[in-house]
Amino acid sequence: MTASPPRSRWKTGVGLMLTGLMLFPVYWMINVSFTRDQDMRATPPHLIPTDGTLDGYRAVLDQQLPYLGTSFLVGLGTVALTLALAAPAGYALAKLRPPGGPALSFVLLIAQMIPGIIMAMGFYAVYLHLGVLNTLPGLILADSTLAVPFGVLIFTAFMSGIPDELLQAAVVDGAGRLRTFWSIVLPVSRNSIVTVSLFAFLWSWSDFIFASTLAGGGDHQPITLGIYHYIGNNNQQWNAIMATAVVASVPAAVLLVLAQRYVSTGVTAGAVKD
């Protein structure tokens, strides 16, 4: 661990190179989003957008804003619903030890493994009857199934770590179960709330399969469908397509920068049980 400075500088160099290689497609997406139509098929391709254009982004503003708004609403709704369901459930599993608790955790693990296409067909059949096909609440409900099992498992793991004494103290002070949950457990669990919200938002923002099966015929379509239709109708204007892609990636990038710590926690917590 006591590497000499030149040696570690060399490693930083290699690290930068590897990261650059990994992120090259992302760079290329950004580059193409600024490229003029007439340069799109240039040989060799322009590696930097020297004669850049903002046409792509103008097209996004013109055509994609409603899609972005829908995605934003669906994302927020999914986060709210996921938290409302997963936090109490996690608390119950961690602290109230209901009968069948372990079995429930087991089912939640399995639930995460169900392929999306199967859920989509099931939802389609159910929604058609209920008449909630192509509605925002319908899409929010479906998207919440992506994050709820993950949320419950994260909350259970985290809330098991809250010392029982803390909760007993609240009970001694005369707080009921609900109040203990609201004023003690939730504030203490802030980190796990951030992690779960983050992933709930990202997953619903990125969802394509539920969007295309459950909202594909409606007025409110999320951005993933916006891009999808764009590619289908318009495979000439790649700068506009890539500009939309860049805009659709902004939430992921922003969240990564703002909440780096929670992102890596979420990735590993999803895989390695502690």
- Contacts (CB under 8 A) with another protein, residues 82-121: 85, 88-89, 92, 104, 106-121
Q: In the window 199-228, what residues touch another protein (CB under 8 A)? A: 202, 205-206, 208-209, 212-213, 223-224, 227-228
Site membership for another protein, residue 73 (CB under 8 A): no
Q: Which CB atom, from 47 or from 172, has the smaller least distance to another protein?
A: 47
Of positions 74, 181, 248, 262, contacts another protein by CB under 8 A: 248
- Considering the complex, what minimum distance in angstroms separates the CB of residue 169 from another protein? 27
Could you tell me the CA-to-CA distances from 61 to 38, 102, 231, 243 in Å, in that order? 21, 49, 17, 10
Q: In the window 15-54, what residues touch another protein (CB under 8 A)? A: 15-16, 18-19, 22-23, 25-26, 28-29, 32, 40-41, 43-45
Site membership for another protein, residue 8 (CB under 8 A): yes
Site membership for another protein, residue 168 (CB under 8 A): no
Q: Which residues contact 3 (CB under 8 A, 6 or more apart)?
A: 11
- Considering the complex, what minimum distance in angstroms separates the CB of residue 123 from another protein? 5
Site membership for another protein, residue 59 (CB under 8 A): no
Q: Which CB atom, from 115 or from 187, has the smaller least distance to another protein?
A: 115
- Alpha-carbon span 188 to 112, nearest angstrom: 26
- Considering the complex, what minimum distance in angstroms separates the CB of residue 41 from another protein? 4
Residue span 126-165 as binding mask against another protein, x where in contact by CB under 8 A, dash where not = x-x------------x--xx--x---x-------------
Of positions 4, 6, 11, 138, contacts another protein by CB under 8 A: 11
- Considering the complex, what minimum distance in angstroms separates the CB of residue 170 from another protein? 23
- Considering the complex, what minimum distance in angstroms separates the CB of residue 233 from another protein? 13
- Alpha-carbon span 120 to 211, nearest angstrom: 9
**Closest listed residue to residue 199, CA positions, set 240, 150, 248:** 150
Site membership for another protein, residue 72 (CB under 8 A): no
